[in-house]
Structure 1
Amino acid sequence: MTNNEVYADIDVVDENNQLTGKATDFFDLHNNNLLHRSSQIWFIEDDNLIFQKRGKNVKMPGILDASVGGHVDTGESPEACAVRECFEEVGLKISEDDLGEEYIFRICEKIKDDWFENEFRHIYFIKRDKFDLTYNDEVEELVRVPLKDLKKFHSKNLGILFSEWSNEYYDFIFSILEKKFNIKFD
Structure 2
Amino acid sequence: MNRDDGPLFGGRAWLPALLIVPMFLGFAFLGVQGGTVIGTLTLAAVVVWAIRANPEGPIEIAAPGEGVRGGVLVVLLAPIDDPPVAGVLAAITDPSRREAGEPLLLAPTRIGRLDRFFGDIEAARFESQRVLAVSVATLAAAGIEVEGRVGDDDVVLAAEDTLRTYAATEVVVFAPGEDDDGAIAKLERRLGIPLRRID
- Calculate the TM-score normalised by the size of structure 2: 0.22
Higher helix share: 2
Larger radius of gyration: 2
Higher strand share: 1
